Amino acid sequence: MGHGVRLACGALLLAGLAPVLGGCSEATSANAATKSAAEVGIVIAKAQPRTLVDELPGRIVSTRAAEVRPRLSGIVVERLFHQGSEVKAGDPLYRIDQKALEVELKANEASLAKAAAVFHQAEQHARRITILANDKVVPEAQREKATGALRQAEAEVASRKADVARARLKLNYATIRAPIDGVIGAAMVSEGALVVQNDSVLATIQQLDPVYADFTQSVTEMNRLRRSFADGDLDQIAPMTARIRLVLDDGTVYSMPGRLLFSEAKVDAHTGQVTMRARFPNPKRELLPGMYARVLIEQGIDKDAISVPQQSVQRNTAGGSEVFVVRDDGRIATQPVRLGEMQGGSWLVNEGLQDGDRVVVDGFQKFAPGDKVRSVPVINESASADASLGRR
């Protein structure tokens, strides 16, 4: 009898605890379901004005370059500059043996003095003959003869003056001077070398501040930009106000912006490229002629551009581009997109995304399309930063 009572009481106790245990089981299941949802990193797509920047290959070119050549032949007796130094226009660079030139100058000066003496004598003789001819003492032919001799003597003086000027000019050419300001390179000849007039290259001077950057753009890309401007997809930037930057071969961005000078009005028939030129200040001589650099040039402004980080874009089996987005119900969906340019580590999205879409950028291995996930916003530095060159 007592044993039956105990069994009955135990059954009643279990019946009373059953709802409580059932409630605990449901809560545990709900927590497990919550914990099973994968955590993914997302960025919020945001439409904002963005400057489109094109990256083009280019080379550095000196703004002015001059080869130093002798203007007369002779033996070099002295070099007057330090290789690699700054020179100013007119600075002496070389000196050619000028002894023979000095002798030639003196000979021409002596000839000038002799011609001047003859002219003075002819002038006095012509004056006397003119007086006598006026008094009818000598015939008119005598005056004509004296006048002709005076003119010949005058012409001889002019000729000798020209010879003296030529000799002085040649003597001046014996000192070879810098034709422009700039940095002079290696000395191509040394003392004792024979140089030939207008033939021997003695050195090269290049002006390095500022410098030019010559770069090319395909005509296809230029036409695409024109269509975007015409359709209103992009706002055009005036060519002369577009900011331009250089990316050096080590990946660093040159500290000073450049200015676009011109774009050629013809297309290279072999490459289909159009050449453009920009000018950059170079006070520290960091940019050297012949150096390869990538030119970053502002092409236009997209007033409502949407960008996503590069790692968020996937390729599907058909070769198209797509991203994963988190829908309002927290589930993953695949969204095809049409991409534009790559800007600062982000893809510009021309079609497929809207302002406010949640785009997955991290945790791709944790889910499949249709799964429910927990989204955690991450900082999209490239999208939040202005892509214009002025902010680089």
Q: How much is the CA Rg of the chain, to the nearest whole Å?
A: 44
Residue listed under structure tokens 């963005």: 50
Grouping H, G, I as helix, E, B as strand and the rest as coil, residue 283 is coil
Indicate whether 310 and 352 sit together in one domain.
yes
Indicate whether this model's pTM tops 0.75. Answer: no
In a shared domain, residues 253 and 126? no
The CATH number of whichever domain residue 193 belongs to comes to: 2.40.50.100
Of residues 364, 370, 383, 310, the one with CA closest to residue 41: 364
Would 12 be classed as within a structural domain? no
Average the pLDDT over each of 149-153, 194-198, 299-303 and give the range with the smallest value: 299-303
The single residue listed with the structure tokens 């874009």 is 313
pLDDT in tens, 226-282: 665 565 555 555 555 567 888 888 888 888 888 888 776 667 767 778 888 888 999
Of the candidates 352, 10, 312, the one whose C-alpha atom is nearest the C-alpha of residue 2 is 10
119 and 141 fall within a common domain: yes
Is 320 among the domain residues? Answer: yes
Question: Which residue range forms the structural domain that includes residue 119?
Answer: 98-173
Whether 5 maps to a domain, the answer reads: no
Asked if 260 and 371 sit in the same domain, the reply is yes
* 3 state SS of 29: helix
Please check whether residues 264 and 311 belong to one and the same domain: yes
Specify the CATH number for the domain of residue 111: 1.10.287
Q: Is 356 left (phi over 0), alpha (psi -120 to 50) or beta?
A: left
> What is the three-state SS of 324-377?
EEECCCCEEEEEEEEEEEEECCEEEEEECCCCCCEEEEECHHHCCCCCEEEEEE
134: three-class secondary structure by DSSP: helix
Mean of pLDDT values over 13-27:
45
Residues 166 and 218 in one domain: no
Is 168 domain-assigned?
A: yes
Establish if 277 belongs to a structural domain.
yes
Whole-number percent of the chain with pLDDT over 70:
77
Residue 21 lies in a domain: no
Most confident of the following: 89-103, 118-132, 289-303: 89-103
Same domain, 214 and 351: yes
How many domains does the chain divide into?
A: 3
Q: Would you say residue 14 lies in a domain?
A: no
Residues 341 and 218 in one domain: yes
Average of per-residue pLDDT values in the chain: 79
Provide the CATH number for the domain around residue 368: 2.40.30.170
Reported as type and span, the H/E element at residue 145 is helix 140-173
Beta strands per DSSP E along the chain: 38-44, 48-68, 74-79, 86-87, 92-96, 175-177, 182-184, 194-195, 203-218, 235-236, 243-247, 258-263, 273-280, 292-309, 314-315, 321-326, 332-343, 346-351, 358-362, 373-377
pLDDT of residue 240: 53
194 & 88 share domain: yes
Predicted confidence at residue 12, as pLDDT, reads 40
So what's the pLDDT on residue 381? Answer: 53
Q: Is residue 111 situated within a structural domain?
A: yes
Give residues with Cβ within 8 angstroms of 226, minimum separation 6.
none
| Domain final residue pick, 201, 218, 247 | 201
Same domain? For 160 and 121 the reply is yes
Q: Indicate the pLDDT class of residue 302, thresholds 50, 70 and 90.
A: low
Q: In terms of domains, do 236 and 379 share one?
A: yes
Residue type, 45: A
**Do 340 and 310 belong to one domain?**
yes
Share of the chain above pLDDT 90, in %: 23
Sign of CA dihedral 232, 238, 243, 249: positive
